[in-house]
């Protein structure tokens, strides 16, 4: 009986290990350096203007992108820039497609220009299990996605399970250079009419500019965590605040043999090391831990100007509710509490869903099985 328990527990351990080590980049990931995130209001017209205050570029290349699904090599390159104001989160990207590459598995050479940019024609049902429509990437052409974790709150509150996602914002370009945005993982659907997004095809690929209202992002964070994470908008604009993001590229190509569009590869700017200590290229790729771009908010005015952050001031009162005055007779003030949070989420399982998980009987059984397997293996070793 003990031997049977040990075998079953070992099988469980192996299954859990396989579930946690989905294939990613073959040689690791070099994380983008932290980026200074400055206040500006760029014009969202699809033409990236260097004079509009955009940040330095986050790079999407062979070093910074993980290979999470197909093993095909990277045949694209991208530069992504960011900005903010009190209303919107801004980002833009210039994507080069059709680069030459060699497939490591068999040495096959993709000639330059063989995998060009593809317009979308509708929603994405490529490689999708129709029983779970939440898995698709918005549109059926090349798609640029953004994962975002404002204030690194997902990690701070324990959302580190394989099924713990941040909101996704996915951009596709349609014929006539019509850019659209699709929200995924929470409140899924086309949200083009709620945001600003413009793009166009270029000689080497495509580019776009986008603005997502902070109010949408804050609401999506609250919804996807079932109100475990509540963000005060003013905190986003404080000097030194951290916004974590990751860029996803869903690269499509024309499969000549099948006569249809297919997926060439999925690539994500994951961190070098995940929050759980594992290397970035060994993670599942698309969950909250994979936000590998750090944006450091630059807003010096917030340190000495309450209006820069929206903080209110309030009068200090005594036990009777009367205002306290200083030696000069001036009312003493203090900053109002600005950040509202809830209890830390209990997450981190590989079996759970999208938000806070409870410690259920299944986990208890798994822990017990691990303990039994350890005892069984030790006993077996001693008997030898």
Burial class (CB in 10 A: 0-12, 13-18, 19+), 306: middle
pLDDT of 194 above 60: yes
| Residues whose CB falls within 8 Å of the CB of residue 66, separated by 6 or more in sequence, listed in order | 24, 25, 29, 267, 268, 269, 270, 280, 281, 283, 285, 290
Tokens 């005060």 sit on residue: 232
pLDDT of 100 above 70: yes
More confident residue, 88 or 14: 88
Cα–Cα distance for residue pair 175/196, rounded to 1 Å: 18
pLDDT of the residue at 212: 98
Tokens linked to 309: 């952050």
Q: Which fold has domain 24-300?
A: Immunoglobulin-like (2.60.40)
Cα–Cα distance for residue pair 116/122, rounded to 1 Å: 18
Tokens linked to 210: 């986008």
pLDDT of the residue at 20: 37
Mean pLDDT (whole number) for 161-179: 96
pLDDT of the residue at 67: 78
* Percent of the chain with pLDDT strictly greater than 90: 61
Burial class (CB in 10 A: 0-12, 13-18, 19+), 378: exposed
pLDDT of 298 above 90: yes
pLDDT confidence band for 10 (50 / 70 / 90): very low
List the chain domain ranges: 24-300, 305-335
For 24-33, 131-140, 223-232, which range has the lowest pLDDT when averaged over its residues?
A: 24-33
Q: How many residues does the chain have?
A: 384
For 43-47, 77-81, 89-93, 286-290, which range has the lowest pLDDT when averaged over its residues?
A: 286-290
**R_g of the chain computed on alpha carbons:** 24
pLDDT of the residue at 367: 40
Nearest 5°: the CA angle 306, 310, 312 is 65
| Residues whose CB falls within 8 Å of the CB of residue 315, separated by 6 or more in sequence, listed in order | 323, 324, 331, 332, 333
Residue 241 DSSP one-character state: -
pLDDT of 61 above 50: yes
Per-residue pLDDT tens over the stretch 210-250: 999 999 999 999 999 999 999 999 999 999 999 999 999 99
Mean pLDDT taken over the chain: 80
pLDDT of 168 above 50: yes
pLDDT confidence band for 321 (50 / 70 / 90): low
> Which H helix or E strand runs over 246?
strand 242-255
pLDDT of 15 above 50: no
The answer to whether 134 touches 286, Cβ cutoff 8 Å, is no
Mean pLDDT (whole number) for 279-293: 89
**Highest mean pLDDT: which range of 206-220, 312-326, 335-349:** 206-220
Local structure of 194: helix, strand or coil = helix
Chain-centroid distance of CA 225 in Å reads: 14
Cα–Cα distance for residue pair 172/13, rounded to 1 Å: 40
Per-residue pLDDT tens over the stretch 245-275: 999 999 999 998 999 999 999 999 999 999 9
- Tell me the CA end-to-end span of the chain in Å, nearest whole number: 18
Per-residue pLDDT tens over the stretch 343-373: 344 343 333 334 433 333 344 434 444 443 4
Residue among 269, 272, 292 at smallest CA distance from 282: 272
pLDDT of the residue at 361: 39
pLDDT confidence band for 28 (50 / 70 / 90): confident
pLDDT of the residue at 19: 38
Cα–Cα distance for residue pair 188/134, rounded to 1 Å: 7
pLDDT confidence band for 311 (50 / 70 / 90): very low
């Amino acid at each position: 009986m003990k031997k049977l328990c040990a075998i079953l527990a070992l099988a469980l351990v192996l299954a859990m290990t396989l579930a946690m080590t989905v294939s990613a980049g073959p040689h690791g990931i070099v994380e983008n350096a932290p980026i200074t995130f400055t206040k500006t209001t760029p014009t969202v017209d699809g033409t990236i203007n260097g004079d509009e205050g955009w940040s330095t570029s986050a790079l999407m290349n062979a070093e910074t992108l993980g290979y999470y699904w197909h093993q095909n090599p990277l045949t694209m390159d991208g530069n992504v820039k960011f900005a903010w104001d009190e209303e919107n989160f801004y980002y833009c990207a210039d994507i080069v497609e059709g680069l030459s590459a060699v497939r490591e598995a068999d040495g096959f050479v993709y000639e330059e220009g063989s995998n060009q940019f593809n317009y979308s024609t509708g929603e994405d049902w490529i490689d999708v299990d129709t029983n779970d429509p939440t898995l698709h990437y918005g549109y059926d052409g090349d798609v640029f996605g953004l994962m975002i974790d404002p204030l690194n709150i997902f990690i701070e509150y324990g959302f580190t399970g394989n099924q713990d996602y941040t909101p996704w914002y996915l951009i596709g370009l349609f014929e006539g250079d019509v850019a659209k945005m699709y929200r995924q993982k929470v409140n899924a659907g086309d949200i083009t009419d709620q945001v600003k997004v413009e793009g166009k095809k270029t000689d080497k690929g495509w580019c776009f500019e986008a603005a997502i209202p902070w109010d949408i992002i804050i609401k999506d964070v609250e919804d996807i965590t079932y109100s475990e994470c509540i963000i005060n908008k003013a905190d986003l604009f404080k000097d030194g605040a951290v916004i974590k993001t990751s860029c996803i590229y869903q690269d499509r190509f024309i499969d000549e043999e099948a006569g249809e569009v297919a997926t060439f590869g999925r690539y994500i700017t994951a961190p070098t090391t995940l929050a759980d200590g594992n290397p970035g290229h060994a993670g599942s790729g698309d969950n909250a831990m994979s936000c590998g771009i750090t944006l450091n908010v630059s807003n010096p005015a917030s340190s000495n100007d309450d209006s820069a952050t929206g903080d209110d001031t309030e009068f200090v009162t005594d036990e009777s509710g009367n205002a306290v005055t200083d030696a000069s007779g001036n009312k003493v003030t203090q900053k109002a509490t600005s950040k509202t949070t809830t209890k830390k989420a209990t997450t981190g399982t590989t079996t759970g869903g999208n938000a806070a998980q409870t410690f259920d009987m299944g986990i208890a059984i798994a822990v017990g099985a691990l303990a039994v397997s350890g005892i069984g293996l030790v006993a077996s070793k001693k008997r030898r």
